[in-house]
Structure 1
Amino acid sequence: MPAEIRKTLLHVENTLIEGGKVAEQPLVLIAAMAVIRNPWAGQGFVEDLSPAIHDCASGLGELLTSMVLDAAGGGEKVEGYGKSAIVGLNGEIEHASALIHTLRFGNHYRNAVGAKSYLSFCNTRGPANAPLMIPLMDKNDGGRRSHYLTIQTSVADAPAADEILVALGASIGGRPHHRIGDRYQDLKELGHDVDNPASV
Structure 2
Amino acid sequence: MTLTIRKIFTTIEEVLVEGSKPADRPVTAVAVAAVLTNPWAGRGFTEDLQPIINEYAPVLGKMMTDRLTSHMKPECIEAYGKCAAVGLDGEIEHGSALIHTLRFGNLFREAAGGTAYLSFTNTRNAAGGLLSLPMTHKTTTGTRSHFLTLNFQIADSPRADEILIAIGAADGGRPHARIGDRFQDMEEMGISRP
TM-score range, shorter chain: over 0.9
Number of the residue aligned with 1:140: 139
- Structure 2: how far apart are the matches of 1:159 and 1:49? 20
Asked if 1:6 corresponds to 2:23, the answer is no
| SS state at 1:97 partner | helix
Q: 1:3: how far off?
A: 2.0
| SS state at 1:13 partner | strand
- Structure 1: how far apart are the matches of 2:19 and 2:154? 28
Compared CA separation, residues 77 and 2, structure 1 to 2 (3 A): farther
Q: 1:45: how far off?
A: 0.5
- The AA in structure 2 aligned to 1:121 is F
List 4+ stretches of structure 1 deviating above 3 A: none
Asked if 1:16 corresponds to 2:30, the answer is no
Number of the residue aligned with 1:184: 183
Number of the residue aligned with 2:46: 46
1:3-82 alignment, distance < 5 Å? 3-72=3-72, 74-82=73-81
Number of the residue aligned with 1:153: 152
Asked if 1:118 corresponds to 2:94, the answer is no
| SS state at 2:80 partner | strand
- The AA in structure 2 aligned to 1:22 is P
- Unaligned runs of 5+ residues in structure 1 are none
- Structure 2: how far apart are the matches of 1:76 and 1:39? 35
Superposition TM-score, scaled by structure 1 size: 0.95
Compared CA separation, residues 59 and 2, structure 1 to 2 (3 A): farther
- Structure 2: how far apart are the matches of 1:171 and 1:41? 33
- Structure 2: how far apart are the matches of 1:81 and 1:118? 9
- Structure 2: how far apart are the matches of 1:78 and 1:174? 10
Residues matched between the structures, number = 194
Q: 1:2: how far off?
A: 4.6
Give the alignment's Cα RMSD to 1 decimal: 0.8
- Unaligned runs of 5+ residues in structure 2 are none
- The AA in structure 2 aligned to 1:25 is R
Question: Is contact 1:27–1:172 with CA below 8 Å preserved after alignment?
Answer: yes
Q: 1:9: how far off?
A: 0.7
Superposition TM-score, scaled by structure 2 size: 0.98
Q: 1:175: how far off?
A: 0.3
Question: Is contact 1:3–1:60 with CA below 8 Å preserved after alignment?
Answer: no
